[in-house]
Amino acid sequence: MTKNEWEQDLEQRELEKKAYNRGYRAGANIEGVTEALKRVELLEKALLEFVGYEDEWLQTKSDLMRENKADLVTQIIYQRQLMRELYNYLDDDVRLKLRTKVESHIWPVTHRED
């Protein structure tokens, strides 16, 4: 192998290495995008479950049974975050009424509406 062939071979290997790294980084970026899209989908699902006034938006029992435990836990956490955020947008008097109503359902004996 001559010096010129050796340099060309080395240059070719460097180009292949760079191409491999570009492909690896692109694959890693796609994986990150996939995770972000999955999170957005779960947030959309949580929003539709929360404000879903039409039955077609609500998940059925069979749909929920198909999900794995980790996805269900994540969905519940997103629903809680969404409810907290929406609750924080309410006026103080509306918050108090809502809180009283929820507490009356949880502790019906101690809280009575007048």
pTM strictly above 0.75: no
Residue-wise pLDDT tens digits, 38-63? 777 777 777 766 666 566 666 777 87
Residues 4-33, buried b or exposed e (16+ Cβ, 10 A)?
eeeeeeeeeeeeeeeeeeeeeeeeeeeeee
Full pLDDT tens readout for the chain, 114 residues: 687 887 888 888 887 877 777 776 666 666 667 777 777 777 777 776 666 656 666 677 787 888 889 988 888 888 888 888 888 888 889 889 888 888 887 777 765 554
Neighbours of 78 (CB within 10 A): 19
- Per the listing, tokens 């779960």 go with 42
Confidence (pLDDT) at 113 = 54
Spell out the domain ranges in the chain: 3-106
* Spatial separation of the C-alpha atoms in residues 88 and 80, rounded to whole Å: 12
